[in-house]
Amino acid sequence: MRLGVVAVSTLAWRNLWRNYRRTMIMLLAISVGVWAMIFMTAVLRGMVDNMVTQALDTLPGYVQIHAPNYLDDPSVTHSLPAPDPSLLQVLGDPLVAAWTSRVKVPAMISSEYENRGVTLIGVDPEGEQALGFDIHDITQGRFLVGANDRGLVIGRKLLQRLDTRLGKRIVIMSQDPGNSIADRGFRIVGVFRADLESREENIVYAGRSVVQTMLGMGSEVSEIAVRGHDYRHPQVLADKIQAETDARVSSWLELDPYLSTMMRVMDGFVLVWMVVVFLALSFGLVNTLMMAVFERIREIGLMQALGMRPSAIVYQFLLESLLLLLLGLLAGNLLAVTTIYVLRDGIDLSGVAQGLEMMGAASVMYPVLQWPDLVLANVVVIVLGIATSLLPAWRAARYLPVEAIARTS
Amino acid sequence: MAAISCVDLCKYYQQGDAVIKGLDHVSLEIEQGSFVCLSGPSGSGKTTLLNAIGGLDKLDSGKISIDGERVDQLGKAALADLRLHSIGFVFQAYNLIPVLSARENVEFVMQVQGVSASERKQRAFRILAEVGLQGMEDRRPAQLSGGQQQRVAVARAIVSQPKLVLADEPTANLDSASLEKLMARFRELNKLHRITFLIATHDERVMSWAERRIGMEDGRVIHDALQAPV
Ligand SMILES: Nc1ncnc2c1ncn2[C@@H]1O[C@H](COP(=O)(O)OP(=O)(O)OP(=O)(O)O)[C@@H](O)[C@H]1O
Ligand SMILES: [Mg+2]
């Protein structure tokens, strides 16, 4: 089918600029729409990123290794041997940024006045810091030094609840693998803060070797936590480690189903958002094209009378619309990428939205541009834009040449 | 076989209670290479007949063939192709695409036909000079007078040397000298390339060039005779 591509393209381009004002308004609308699609998506991605990273800091470890039954019953009986050479080798893989092993058991903590149930974590302090524990969260005293440190670090809230102070002694009780009670006295050497109050209330840190000795579990551990480089794709790392061990390897996507669901819902939400913005645009687009068709009925008739096929008329209007969309996309993309670049150091909302912090969201938002989102926005605009233009274009080609020309007199 | 054959063409317009007869049982044959004038008072059906022959309009009844091909049975795309390759049109009023310059309007048909850019350009310049529009090639229609626009349309109709030229009042806005020059050029093309011309006109001077005159009134052919052209 010969359409006279050059002829049609020239016409489409000239016609586009015929109503300069209308075209400029439409271009403005499209670029603002595209900007909204890309920029708002980047802000959303940034917010979710922030929530996930914060949550991962409390989980720590994108991937965790446990004894097969530990997740169902996190007791000391379900423990793992310390990493063997083959596991150590995979933990040296470039995909791994850092790893550490922990003992993690339910325990009872008692001060002179109060008893409370907590989760006792026996840690290697350097490993924890490599995995994300922030030393600045220590508000009083110090963090542990080495796995043999005999001190105890507890949360601010727990300190209050137990009605005790830094430097005081407290007692921790738990079960050993033989189901007997194991207990030990500790001195509180440090107090930490956390974004979540429940962490301040429930987590206590002790040296790993000290806890292992107290519980009589030798060199066994409850959990090995591994940090990778990209939290979005922990499964590759998990699979790689799983190949080397019989223990149960889980990524954070499994460990925190709430967060992983949110991540997945985000992708759908981004698409919906883009389509909604486009729908708002599409009214303007259809209107513009319809007006162009009605204004040019006589020309359309003339072109058909001169031997241009109806399909070429459709093609001409689609091309005109495509040119408009491409120009709008170009401007919109530039605008969005520039805004995101300029705001890369964060948008400080603390002034306008004090409530955000209380909701657990950060008051500084970092827009995060993901290329697939940018591509998606462009694809949405082009595909839906062309689809929307089909109706006006088809209307244009339906006139009988004589009806169209007859509108002269 | 006749170049154009019309059998019993009817085209009626309903105007309130009245029926206007655009074409009322028109039958005629036009031989390839003839030079024919269509005359008649305003509203007699000349434009309607030319549009019907060019396949621009739907008829109520009748058969039209061009070179034996039934125009009234062709689809829109096939009709477009037929017009593109075999028919040159000059319309009575609205002729030019406003966003294209005079030269681009002339090139338009060749462009759709797929003629190469250099040849198009050369042919367009030559034909525009022939109709007296040298130096106005780059003007848009809005920057041309009625007569100049008409001549651009004529140039476009003949530039590809189609088999058939359907011209509706091609001289309406022309002075006598331009008119005579244009008719002479038509006649030359007609003789040289056996292009069939069917020209609707009110103008006696144009009619005097024809070798056959068809007179219409109220949608009917009332007169059809050969004559000796000047
Ligand atoms: N779309 C239409 N609707 C109604 N009547 C129409 C229409 N087109 C043409 N007519 C009528 O059909 C008749 C023939 O019109 P046509 O245009 O063929 O006349 P014409 O011979 O070309 O006249 P002129 O010399 O003024 O150009 C006229 O009476 C006209 O009013
Ligand atoms: Mg007429």
Pairing between β-strand B212-217 and β-strand B220-226 as defined by DSSP bridges: antiparallel
Position A409 scores a pLDDT of: 39
Query: Is A4's pLDDT higher than 70?
Result: no
Tell me which of B9, B17, B24, B47 to substitute to probe ligand 1's pocket, judged by most ligand atoms within 8 Å of the beta carbon.
Answer: B47
Judged on CB neighbours under 10 Å (0-12, 13-18, 19+), A281 is: buried
Of A14, A298, A304, the CB nearest to B94: A298
Q: Which of chain A's residues have a Cβ under 8 Å away from the Cβ of B71?
A: none
Is there a contact between A306 and B94 if contact means CB atoms under 8 Å apart? no
Ligand 1: which residue has its CA nearest to atom 18?
Answer: B45
C-alpha–C-alpha distance, residues B184 and A123, integer Å? 106
Ligand 1 atom nearest residue B216's Cα? 21
Percent of chain B with pLDDT over 90: 70
What ipTM describes this predicted complex?
A: 0.91
Closest CA to B8 of B23, B28, B27, B36: B27
Structure tokens at B104: 């681009």
Position A263 scores a pLDDT of: 80
C-alpha–C-alpha distance, residues B200 and B40, integer Å? 9
Query: Is A408's pLDDT higher than 50?
Result: no
Check pocket membership of B20 for ligand 1, CB cut-off 6 A.
yes
Position A95 scores a pLDDT of: 84
Of B95, B98, B108, the CB nearest to A7: B108
Percent of chain A with pLDDT over 70: 93
Is there a contact between A307 and B111 if contact means CB atoms under 8 Å apart? no
Q: Which of chain A's residues have a Cβ under 8 Å away from the Cβ of B77?
A: 309-311
Interface of A with B in 2-31 (CB under 8 A): 2-4, 6-7, 10-11, 14-15, 18
What element of type H or E holds A140? strand A138-141
C-alpha–C-alpha distance, residues A360 and B174, integer Å? 83
User: What ligand has the least distance to the C-alpha of B49?
Assistant: 1
Position B32 scores a pLDDT of: 92
Is there a contact between B97 and A11 if contact means CB atoms under 8 Å apart? yes
Tell which wins on pLDDT, A5 or A188.
A188
DSSP H helical ranges for A225-354: 234-242, 252-255, 257-295, 297-305, 310-342
Position A354 scores a pLDDT of: 57
Which range among A340-354, B131-145, B147-161, B187-201 shows the weakest confidence by mean pLDDT?
A340-354
pLDDT tens-digit series, residues A295-338: 888 888 888 899 888 888 898 899 999 999 999 999 999 999 99
Whether the Cβ atoms of residue B141 and residue B98 lie closer than 8 Å to each other: yes
With CA atoms as reference, the chain A residue closest to B157 would be A306
Closest CA to B36 of B22, B24, B53: B53
Going from the Cα of B48 to the center of ligand 2, the distance in angstroms, rounded, reads 7
Angle, nearest 10°, between helix axes B76-86 and A310-342? 100
pLDDT tens-digit series, residues B93-131: 878 999 999 999 999 989 888 888 899 999 999 999 989
CA distance B75 to chain A (A): 10
Query: Is A250's pLDDT higher than 80?
Result: yes
Average predicted confidence (pLDDT) for chain A: 87
User: What ligand has the least distance to the C-alpha of B201?
Assistant: 1
**B140 close contact with A: CB closer than 8 A:** no
pLDDT tens-digit series, residues A348-381: 776 665 555 555 555 677 888 989 999 999 999 9
Query: Is A406's pLDDT higher than 70?
Result: no
Query: Is A403's pLDDT higher than 80?
Result: no
Interface of A with B in 283-342 (CB under 8 A): 298-299, 302-312
For domain B34-52+82-226, the CATH architecture is: 3-Layer(aba) Sandwich (3.40)
Average pLDDT over residues A26-48: 91
Average pLDDT over residues A76-98: 85
Q: Which of chain B's residues have a Cβ under 8 Å away from the Cβ of A307?
A: 80-85, 87, 109, 112-113
Position A334 scores a pLDDT of: 96
Average predicted confidence (pLDDT) for chain B: 91
pLDDT tens-digit series, residues A111-163: 988 999 999 999 999 998 988 888 888 999 999 999 999 999 999 999 999 99
Of A310, A405, A409, the CB nearest to B76: A310
Position A353 scores a pLDDT of: 56
Interface of B with A in 75-114 (CB under 8 A): 76-77, 80-85, 87, 89, 91, 93-100, 104, 108-109, 111-114
Position A378 scores a pLDDT of: 94
Ligand 1 atom nearest residue B51's Cα? 18
Position A358 scores a pLDDT of: 53
**What is the value of pTM for the model shown?**
0.76
CA distance A360 to chain B (A): 60
Ligand 1: which residue has its CA nearest to atom 28?
Answer: B43
Question: Would you kindly state where each structural domain of chain B is located, as residue ranges?
Answer: 34-52+82-226
Judged on CB neighbours under 10 Å (0-12, 13-18, 19+), B170 is: buried
pLDDT tens-digit series, residues A257-269: 888 888 888 888 8
Query: Is A1's pLDDT higher than 60?
Result: no
pLDDT tens-digit series, residues B32-73: 999 999 999 999 999 999 999 999 888 999 999 998 889 989
